[in-house]
Structure 1
């Protein structure tokens, strides 16, 4: 740790900045962040101007140019692992995207930070090269402690289960104590006086959508949320008294209010991810939702990092 006793961090695959935001909530100084997407880096830089940024393929990174740090944060590509992106979803099922995890090994080999936190979907540990990846981390002196964490247990109004692997240069794996908080309702992030609404009953509306609305009304009354596409609460909708389902990289959740409906707005998705209200997003709705759906929920990152401090 640096002489001022302030933990420093580097953020790989930083995206729109959820991991960095959570680290800063925990009092960590994020000194460097990188992503291959120009839009992601620009968004991250707008919100974290004191962090040094790089826009590059991290397989090509020169780790000597990265400042020394105590904690490495990394969210390597998850699409190749996610069960939502199988062969039926045109995922080629090879290791091109999965191989981004090896950049984590490269980074820690050079800097040997005391801790690293790797976030991904739970299926990451089912990757056929996970045993080799974890062996490489072990060879560098890291003990690995996997934790499955639901964002809803950390005050985020969304059920979002993710894997957080805590890597520590310690004698044994660092198993964290993560107290669970009371659930926050979806209603807290939805503004019924805002947004572009359309009639539920309108020409061209899909019969499946109308069936979801009818089932939701029967179960939850006039106000509820439901997935506009895909599965999960698809037949009954979800009560506004519950957290939302997972925010994805494309519009998924529709709000029904009596005889009208609309998709969640980007600012509502931001709140559902646990970002601060003033966090800057791209003006383009589609891009903003994409970055949010790929992000780490900041309160979860905060709680994981604080738990590491307590356990170390």
Structure 2
């Protein structure tokens, strides 16, 4: 496989991983102008389209032998709710059908689809799989913690491997040593504030106290939410999932700050020279939605080895 098309391209995690694996990304699309702007900045040789892929003109897409896609996951994710009858979530779930349309027109050798695991519990998932199979593709689901691929982040995601083979193709994804969060955290940078200050929430102070008891003066903790919320996390292990909003706080002695946008991108394994918005919130949104490039690269390389 030498050429790929990237649907729902975002900041370009799939595209960056593909290029690192030696695959040329010839076409990329997203409905959000800001995403297309920054994907173009990082992949200037790729042909870009800004449009709702329900209205895509597939005949205008260059020939490719690998389809990459990360359909909108918010309608499936536990974090955002997935109840039917919510127009916004129902519309986001329907983006997966663009993958079927793209496959039908171009019939590439293979496709790689990334989403949250809850994608498989979607009421229309069996129909979606049937549509893909009707086009001659086998569907092999892989549930992967990206930390096992060398990404310094525990991020469990579903990778669907679509191949024109006689049986579903299960990839040999080699397990790599976990990379600690300490490799990308910079305790000499960022905007710090005192932990003990007027207005600091009691829950935050409780998290800090519990984290100190377990990990000492330096650790990471969620600023909100569940999971590691009561105990924090050791910086000598991968960080938890990078989300589209500020979630992770660094504690260093009597001071704390939120994870920076550059640290979030590093946790996602984007190269240091990645072009990004100056706006912190916008960068965090794009980073949290992205496929970690290293994970994308290793999945593509495993597909290449198996082909």
Using the size of structure 2 for normalisation, the TM-score is 0.98
C-alpha contact 2:144 2:156 (8 A) present in aligned 1: yes
| Matching of residue 208 in structure 1 with residue 208 in structure 2 | no
Q: Is residue 2:162 matched to residue 1:167?
A: yes
State the partner residue of 1:76.
71
Assess if the C-alpha contact under 8 Å between 2:41 and 2:275 holds in 1: yes
* CA RMSD in angstroms, aligned pairs only: 1.3
3-state SS in 1 of match to 2:90: coil
In the alignment, which of 138, 143, 148 is matched to residue 138 of structure 2?
Answer: 143
Task: Specify the alignment match of 1:301 in structure 2.
Answer: 296
Contact persistence 1:86–1:93 (CA under 8 A): no
Correspondences of 1:107-186 after superposition (within 5 Å) = 107-186=102-181
1:12 corresponds to which of 7, 30, 47: 7
Say if 1:145 and 1:175, in contact at 8 Å, map to a contact too.
yes
Q: 2:268 aligns with which of 266, 273, 282?
A: 273
Deviations along 1:34-89, one digit per CA (max 9) or x if unpaired, are: 0011111111000000000011100000000100100000000000111111269x
Q: Structure 1, residues 176-218: CA drift from partner, whole Å, max 9, x if none?
A: 0001100011111110000000000011111100110011001
Instruction: Please report how far the alpha carbon of residue 95 of structure 1 lies from its aligned counterpart in structure 2 after TM superposition.
Output: 2.3
How far apart are residue 93 of structure 1 and its match?
8.2
Task: Give the Cα separation in 2 of the matches to 1:103 and 1:93.
Answer: 17
1-side partners of 2:88 and 2:12: how far apart? 28
Q: Secondary structure at the match of 1:10?
A: strand
- Alpha-carbon distance in 2 for matches of 1:87, 1:38: 26
Give unmatched runs, 5+ long, in structure 1: 2-6
Q: Does 1:46 align with 2:46?
A: no
1:84 partner SS:
coil
Give structure 2 stretches of 5+ with no counterpart. none
**2:74–2:89 contact (8 Å) kept in structure 1:** no
Give structure 1 regions of 4+ aligned residues with deviation exceeding 2 angstroms: 90-95
- Hey, what's the Cα distance between the residues in 2 that align with 1:116 and 1:43? 24
The number of aligned residues is: 306
CA-CA distance at 1:94 after TM superposition: 5.3
Conservation of the 8 A alpha-carbon contact between 2:76 and 2:82: no
2:285 is the counterpart of 1:290: yes
Pick the aligned partner of 1:242 from 233, 237, 256.
Answer: 237
Q: 1:199: which partner in 2?
A: 194
